A = this chain, B = another copy of it.
Amino acid sequence: MKNLIKSALCIFAMSFAVNTVAAEYTLKLAHTWPKGFPIFGTSVDDYAKLVSEMSGGKIEIKVDSRNKHKSAFGIFDFVKSGQYDIGQSASYYYGGKDPDTLFFTTMPFGMTAEEQYAWFYHGGGLELANEVYGKHGIEVMLAGNTGVQMGGWFRKEIKSVADLKGLKMRIPGFGGKVMAGVGATPTNLPAGELYQALERGTIDALEWVGPSLDLRMGFHKVAPYYYTGWHEPATELMYFFNEKKMASLPKWVSSVLKNAAKLTAYNMTVLSNHESGKNWSTMLSEYPNIKVKEFPQSVLTALKKSNADLIAKEYARSPMAKKIIDSQADYLKRARAYTEISLQSYLNTVAN
């Protein structure tokens, strides 16, 4: 009888081991965004759910937003130090930690999301990213793409390069440097102050993301010109994993963590595209007078030159930067030749 009970307990324990609800592996994750931040932040919550579901509850990820850890741009250090096992952020925020991280988010006039995914996964891009991050004990995976970000909301139409001189625009990062190169004055303001600054003319223009995240900011109510994109054609977020932690886990656990991240990235990309279509439709129905504009070719030519000058400096900076820039340029050339005869041609011919 005792043996029978023991056997029954054993069978119960085994079934528990297979269909367990108690986590056997608990990982801490920190991301850059406020709690519940649409798309960028919620996709991390989706990631944790996916990992739990696919592991039958054996792997638990505890997600901390920046409301908790208080350091939006501390993700790199959190994961490097092991304070967190996993991070989600954007690579280009960490140029101050390692200038070679700049290249793994998006580049002005660079690849589209489709082209860039192909570069990351089949053109050596992810290997290059891991070469850079490996020096910091971090392994990276992609985390999701916004698609082509819009050029931004402008109070006045831009008809020539002269109209950019002295233009006060909220445009951070590399895009801001490119804008500065043509005479604009990039400014930075906290997100909460942007609407009022644009409304009052404290700034003349700003870029945020695209319809997916612009709608809730309300910029379309105070600046009539919505310019199409050039500076961030394929903004890809990134997952950071502490290398030592990952190496300490069973292979199936690290496989679930990495592949769920990979799936989450694609899912976010599709969601972002969906939300953009939906929100653009909403914006247009509420404010049918939004004027979508493309920058004149003279302006684009000036921006391209400014960008090329900055890239040339990067190119000279380090052998690693040169290697990455060459890889991207080679891949873009080949990928774009195909995009032209497929997607671009399709969009241009069927619309007529």
Chain A residues close to B by CB (< 8 Å): 2-3, 6-7, 9-10, 13-14, 17-19, 24, 50, 53-57, 109, 112-115, 117-118, 121-123, 147-148, 150, 210-211, 226, 228-230, 233, 250-252, 255-256, 259-260, 262-263, 266-267, 270-271, 273-274, 276-278, 280-281, 284, 292, 294-295, 297, 300, 331, 334-352
- Judging by beta carbons under 8 Å apart, are A342 and B210 in contact? yes
List of 9 A-B pairs having minimum Cβ-Cβ separation, nearest first: A56-B252, A10-B10, A228-B345, A118-B274, A122-B274, A266-B266, A148-B342, A277-B338, A263-B263
- Judging by beta carbons under 8 Å apart, are A341 and B54 in contact? no
The answer to whether residues A341 and B56 also contact, given A17-B14, A50-B259, A352-B300 and a CB cut-off of 8 A, is no
Min CB distance A53 to B, Å, is: 5
CB nearest to A228 among chain B residues: B345
- Judging by beta carbons under 8 Å apart, are B278 and A334 in contact? yes
For A341, what are the chain B residues with a Cβ–Cβ distance below 8 Å? 150, 226, 228, 280, 292
Q: List 7 A-B contacts (CB under 8 A).
A: A56-B252, A115-B273, A121-B267, A122-B274, A148-B342, A259-B263, A294-B349
The answer to whether residues A349 and B273 also contact, given A211-B338, A228-B341 and a CB cut-off of 8 A, is no
The answer to whether residues A252 and B297 also contact, given A17-B18, A150-B342 and a CB cut-off of 8 A, is no
- Judging by beta carbons under 8 Å apart, are B118 and A295 in contact? no
For A9, what are the chain B residues with a Cβ–Cβ distance below 8 Å? 10
- Judging by beta carbons under 8 Å apart, are A230 and B350 in contact? yes
- Judging by beta carbons under 8 Å apart, are A54 and B256 in contact? yes
The answer to whether residues A343 and B112 also contact, given A230-B349, A250-B18 and a CB cut-off of 8 A, is yes
For A228, what are the chain B residues with a Cβ–Cβ distance below 8 Å? 341-342, 345-346, 349
- Judging by beta carbons under 8 Å apart, are A147 and B281 in contact? no
Q: How far is the CA of A321 from the CA of B18 in the complex (A)?
A: 43
For A118, what are the chain B residues with a Cβ–Cβ distance below 8 Å? 270-271, 273-274, 277
The answer to whether residues A281 and B337 also contact, given A13-B14, A54-B259, A343-B112 and a CB cut-off of 8 A, is yes
Min CB distance A289 to B, Å, is: 15
For A339, what are the chain B residues with a Cβ–Cβ distance below 8 Å? 277, 347
Identify which of A13, A56, A292 gathers the most chain B CB atoms within 10 Å of its CB: A56
